[in-house]
Amino acid sequence: MSLRIGIPRALYYYRYFPFWETFFETLGFEVVVSRPSHRGLIEEGFKFADDDTCIPMKMVFAHTIDIKDRIDLLFLPRLLSVDGKTCSCPRLAGLPEMLKYSIPRLPTILAPYVDERYRNSTLFRSFSQMASALGKRSKEIKQAYQQAESTYQLIRKRMEGGENVPELFEKAGKKNLFSPKNDSGKKIAVVGHPYCLYDPYFNFDLLRILGEAQTSVYTQEMVPKEEIDSEIQGFGKDVYWDSGREILGASLYYLDSNQVDGLIYLTCFSCGVDSMIEPLVRHRVEENGKTLYLCLMIDEHTGATGVLTRMEAFIDLLERRRKRR
Amino acid sequence: MKLTVPYLGHIDIFLNAMARKIGPEFIFPPKTSSRTLLLGTKYSPESACLPFKFILGNFIEALEAGADTIAMITDHGPCRVGMYDVVMQQILKDLGFQFNWIVMDDTRILGDYLLRFNRERKRRGVSFWGSLQAIRFSWKKVRLCESIERMAHKMRPLEVGRGETTRVLTDSLRWIDEASSFRELDLVFHQCAERFNRIEKDSTRNPPKVLITGEAYMVINPHANQDIERRLGEMGVEVTRTVWFTTQITHALHLDLLNPKSKRKAIKASGPYLKHNLGGECNASIGYPILYKKEGYEGVIQLLPFGCMLEAVAKNILVRVSQEYDIPVLTFSLSENLSETMIDTRLSAFVDLLQKRRERSRSISSPIKGEGNNYE
C-alpha cells in the first residue's frame, strides 16, 4: 500500500496544489486533501489554534485536525521564498512547529524548506531531499518534478485566463464562473490572498455572489507577472512579501489601466501584510478617484448577512454611477 | 537640518551626545504620552501594530515641535517594519506636514551612509579623529546608562522605601546625559553608583528572577510596555531584559561574538525548537529563556504587539519550551487598548505563582534530598 500524504485545504493549497499533487502522485503516493471548510470543521480547529494569529492560520489547524487520522504523513511546506526575490509571511515559515506543539498525536510532518535566495534550499533541492528521504530514486524525482512543473504552468495559464481556482483544482469543474470577456456588465476586481479569495467558507462565497449579480470578476491571478513587476517598479518601493507584492501590483494595474469599475480588497483580521498594503491601495484609489473601492475585512464573527448587504450596496452604487455617466 | 528619529531605548542620550560634539541638531519627539498614542492610533491604519502607532505619534509630535527631517530605519522583511517608511510618509504627507525623509537601510551602510556622514563631517569642519572620539564618547554614555539600569533592576526589589530606586535612576540618567567629557562622565558614574549604594535596602529578601523577552520595540521602551520593569521590581522581582540599545547595535555589526548571552547564541539555542531563523526577535525569544534558565531565572515574560507576525510563532513554541525547561512563561499581547489594572493583575498573579513554585519545590525537594543522602 502506498503512503498517504495529507494536504490541508488551506493557505498555499490555493496556489500550488496542482504542483504538489502531480509531484506526489507521479512518485506513487496517495494524496489526501481535507474536506472543504465547513462550520463544524472550523470550530473544532479553532479550539487548538492560538488567538494571536489570523483566521487563515487557524484554518490550517482545523484542516489538519480533519485529516490527521486518515494519513501517514502531513505535508506542510515552508515556502519562505519561491521566486528568489520576495519572502512569504513569517507565520507560514513557523507553521509546522506551531502545529506540532499545539495539536496532540500528529503524524510526521514533511516540511521542505524552500528559499530560492540560497542555492542549497531551492524548490527542486528541498523537494528532492524530501522525496529521497521517503526512498525515491533521483531519476524518478526529477521526472516527477518536471511533470509537476509543467502541470503547474498549465494551470497557471488557465488561472490567468480567469478560471475559478477551486474548481480548477477539483479537476472535474470546467465551468467558467466569472466571465471576463463579458464587456457589457459591470467589472469588478477582487484582490486578496489566494486563501482568502478562493475559500468559499471564509469569504461567504463572495465570488459566486458577484457572478450571480451579472458582474465580470477580475482577480490578481489574471494580471500577467510582467505587469505586476512594472507596476511595483513604478511605485518606487520594492515590496518584499510575495502576496503583498502581487496584491499591490495587481490593484495598481487595475486602477491605472481603468479596466474596472470597482475594486474589492478582501482581507482578514490581524493580517500583517494587509495592514501595510491596504493603506497604499486605498491611497491610490483616492488619488485616482474613478474606481469604487471596498475593503472587506473578515474575522471569526462576520456573518454572511453582513457581507451580503455590503456587496449588494456596492453593486447598487456601481449601477448608479454607470447610469449617471 | 533638524533631525528626528524614533525612540529606541537610550538612543536620545546617544544622539544628543553626538550632536553636541559634531552636530546635526536633533529634535527628539516629546516624551511619549497618552496624546502620542491617541494621535498615532487616529492616523494609523486600523490593523497596524503597536510600534507603528507609537512611532507615528512620535513623528507627528516631533514635526509639531519643529523637526524638518525624519530618519527612519527600514528592512527587507519579513517583519512589516520594512514597510513602515512608505506608509508613514504617505500618512504624514496627507496630514499636510513638510519634511525630508531619510531611509536607513542596513544594506546601504557602506555605500551610502558612511559617504554621506563623511561629507557632512567635512562640511561642518570636524576632524576625522574628532568624530571618532564623539562616537566613542556617545557609546560610552549609553553603556553607562545601561549598567545603571542593570543596577536599578537589582536594587528595586530590595529597596525599603518604594520608589527610591526609580528616583535615583531618573536622576542618574539625567546626569549622564549632561556630562560633557570623558573625565566628567567617569566622575558622574562614580557618584551614581555611590547613590545606588546608599539606598536603604533589605538584604534578607531573596527576590525571584524574571526575564523579559519578546519584540524589540516593546521590550526596550518603557512607554510601550507600560513600565513593566518598574512594576515587577516594585512587586519584589529582579528583572532583566533581552534587548538593549547596545546589544542591538553590536548584533547588527557582528561585534558580539564574545558575549555569552548574545542574540546569536540565543538563536542557536532555539535550534531544537525552530530550525530556521525567521528574522526579527522570533528565534531569540525562544532561545533566551533556555539560556537564562541555566542562570537560575525562574520566570519569563514575553511581550508582543497584538498581531505581530513573528512573535506569534515564538509564543506557540514557548509553550513547549516552558514545559520542557520547567519555566513559567507569561505572554502579554499588547494593543493600544492598554489597561494598567490588567497588567498589574496579571503580573501579581504571575509573581504569586513564582512564590508558590518556590515553596512547593522547597517542601518536596528537602525530604527527598535527605533520603538520597541516607542512601549514600
pLDDT tens string B235-257: 999 999 999 999 888 888 888 88
Task: State residue A1's pLDDT score.
Answer: 66
pLDDT digits (tens, 9 = 90+) for A32-44: 999 888 888 888 8
Q: How far apart are CA A178 and CA B86, in angstroms?
A: 34
Confidence band for A83, pLDDT divided at 50, 70 and 90:
confident
User: What CA–CA distance (Å, rounded) separates A29 from A1?
Assistant: 9
A37 within 8 A of A201, measured Cβ to Cβ: yes
Flag whether residue A102 sits within 8 Å of chain B, measured between CB atoms: yes
Q: How confident is the model at residue B374 (pLDDT cuts 50, 70, 90)?
A: very low
**Within an 8 Å CB–CB cutoff, is residue B276 touching chain A?**
yes
Q: Measured between CA atoms, how close is B299 to chain A, in angstroms? A: 20
Chain B positions touching A285 (Cβ under 8 A) are none
What residues 30-49 of chain A have any CB closer than 8 A to a CB of chain B?
none
Per-residue confidence band for A144, with pLDDT thresholds at 50, 70 and 90: very high
* Residue of B108 and B209 predicted with greater confidence: B209
In this structure, what DSSP letter does residue A120 have? G
Distance between A230 CA and the closest CA of chain B, angstroms = 18
Position with higher pLDDT, A207 vs B116? A207
| Chain segment A43-70, per-residue pLDDT in tens | 888 888 888 888 888 899 999 999 989 9
Query: Chain A contact for B53, CB < 8 A?
Result: no
| pLDDT-based confidence at residue B370 (cuts at 50, 70, 90) | very low
Q: What is the pLDDT of residue B111?
A: 66
Element (H, E) at A281: helix A272-288
The answer, yes or no, to whether residue A179 has pLDDT greater than 60, is no
Query: Is B86 in contact with A237 (Cβ distance < 8 A)?
Result: yes
Query: Under a CB-based contact definition with an 8 Å cutoff, are residues B302 and B311 in contact?
Result: yes
pLDDT at residue B361, rounded to an integer:
84
* Model confidence band, residue B287 (pLDDT cutoffs 50, 70, 90): very high
Q: Nearest to residue A88, comparing CAs of A190, A160, A193?
A: A193
Q: How many residues does chain B have?
A: 376
Residues in B touching A81 (Cβ below 8 Å): none
- Does A239 contact B278 at a Cβ distance shorter than 8 Å? no
Backbone dihedral region for residue A241 (phi beyond 0: left; psi -120 to 50: alpha; all else: beta)? beta
Which architecture, in CATH terms, is B2-126?
3-Layer(aba) Sandwich (3.40)
**Cβ within 8 Å, pair A274-B47:** yes
The overall average pLDDT reported for chain B is 88
Mean pLDDT of B63-72: 91
pLDDT tens readout for residues B134-161: 889 999 999 999 999 999 999 999 999 8
Task: Please tell me the predicted confidence (pLDDT) of residue B373.
Answer: 39
pLDDT digits 0-9 by tens, A186-243: 889 999 998 888 888 888 888 888 888 888 888 888 888 899 999 999 988 888 898 9
Query: Is A246 exposed, middle or buried, given 0-12, 13-18 or 19+ CB atoms closer than 10 A?
Result: buried
Q: Nearest by CB to A94, which of B91, B278, B304?
A: B278
CA B28, B112, B1, B25 dihedral sign is: positive
- All residues of chain A having their beta carbon less than 8 Å from the beta carbon of residue B76 are 240
What spatial distance separates the first Cα and last Cα of chain B, rounded to whole Å? Answer: 75
Q: What is the pLDDT of residue A170?
A: 65
CA nearest to A88 within chain B: B78
pLDDT higher than threshold 50 for residue B187: yes
Residue B368 has pLDDT above 50, yes or no: no
Residue B32 — left, alpha, or beta (φ > 0 → left; ψ -120 to 50 → alpha)? beta
pLDDT of residue B220: 93
- Provide the pLDDT for residue A300: 81
- The pLDDT, as a whole number, for residue B78 is 84
- The predicted-structure confidence for A85-108, as pLDDT tens digits, reads as follows 888 888 888 888 888 888 888 999
**Which chain B residues are closer than 8 Å to A78 by Cβ?**
276
Predicted pLDDT of residue B35: 93
The domain ranges of chain A are: 4-160, 166-324
What residues of B are in contact with residue A239 (Cβ under 8 Å)? 83
- What is the per-residue pLDDT for A24? 92
Residues of A in contact with B80 (CB under 8 A): 272-273, 275-276
Nearest to A275 among B77, B80, B273 (CB): B80
The residue with cell 489566494 is: A194
- Topology given in CATH for the domain delimited by B207-376: Rossmann fold (3.40.50)
Binding-face residues of A in 198-257 toward B, CB within 8 A = 236-237, 239-241, 244
Q: Which of A237, A281, A282 to mutate to test the interface with B (most CBs of B within 10 A)?
A: A237
Average pLDDT, whole number, for chain A? 86
The pLDDT-based confidence of B372 (bands split at 50, 70, 90) is very low
Interface test with B, best of A237, A267, A275 (most B CBs within 10 A): A275
Cβ–Cβ gap A101/B280 under 8 Å = no
pLDDT at A183 (0 to 100): 52
Q: In the CATH hierarchy, which top-level class contains the domain A4-160?
A: alpha beta
Q: Which amino acid is at B14?
A: F
* Burial per residue of A259-290, b for 16 or more beta-carbon CB atoms within 10 angstroms, e otherwise: ebbbbbbbbbbbbbbbbbbbbbbbbbbeeeee
- By C-alpha distance, the chain A residue nearest B272 is A97
ipTM of this predicted structure: 0.89
pLDDT at A118: 85
What is the CATH topology of the domain spanning A166-324?
Rossmann fold (3.40.50)
Q: Is the pLDDT of residue A294 over 90?
A: yes
Return the C-alpha torsion angle A81, A87, A91, A92, nearest 10.
-30
Contact between chains at B320 and A101 (C-beta distance less than 8 A): yes
Between CA A59 and CA A243 the distance in angstroms is 18
Which residue would you say has higher pLDDT here, B128 or B300? B300
Work out the pLDDT band at B195, boundaries 50, 70, 90: very high
Q: What is the 3-state secondary structure (H, E, C) of chain B?
A: CEEECCCCCCHHHHHHHHHHHHCCEECCCCCCCHHHHHHHHHHCCCCCCHHHHHHHHHHHHHHHCCCCEEEEEECCCCCHHHHHHHHHHHHHHHCCCCCEEEEEEHHHHHHHHHHHHHHHHHHHCCCHHHHHHHHHHHHHHHHHHHHHHHHHHHHHHHECCCCHHHHHHHHHHHHHHHCCCHHHHHHHHHHHHHHHHHCCECCCCCCCEEEEEECHHHHHCCCCCCCHHHHHHHCCCEEEECCCHHHHHHHHCCCCCCCCCCHHHHHHHCCCCCCCCCCCCHHHHHHHHHHHHCCCCCEEEEEEECCCCCHHHHHHHHHHHHHHCCCCEEEEEECCCCCHHHHHHHHHHHHHHHHHHHHHHHHHHHHHHHHHHHHC
Given this model, what pLDDT does residue A281 score?
Answer: 94
The pLDDT-based confidence of B44 (bands split at 50, 70, 90) is: very high
Q: Which tens digit of pLDDT belongs to each residue from B253-272?
A: 888 888 888 888 999 999 88
Contacts of residue A48 in chain B, CB cutoff 8 Å?
A: none
For the cut 80, the answer to whether the pLDDT of residue A177 exceeds it is no
Task: Inspect the interface and report whether the beta carbons of B80 and A274 lie closer than 8 Å.
Answer: no
Interface check for B95 against chain A (CB to CB < 8 A): the answer is: no
The answer to whether A4-160 and A166-324 have equal CATH topology is yes
Say if CB A241 and CB B77 are below 8 A apart.
yes
Confidence of residue B109 (pLDDT cuts 50, 70, 90): low
Q: Select from B94, B276, B304 the Cβ nearest to the Cβ of A113.
A: B276
Q: Which of B75, B276, B322 to mutate to test the interface with A (most CBs of A within 10 A)?
A: B276
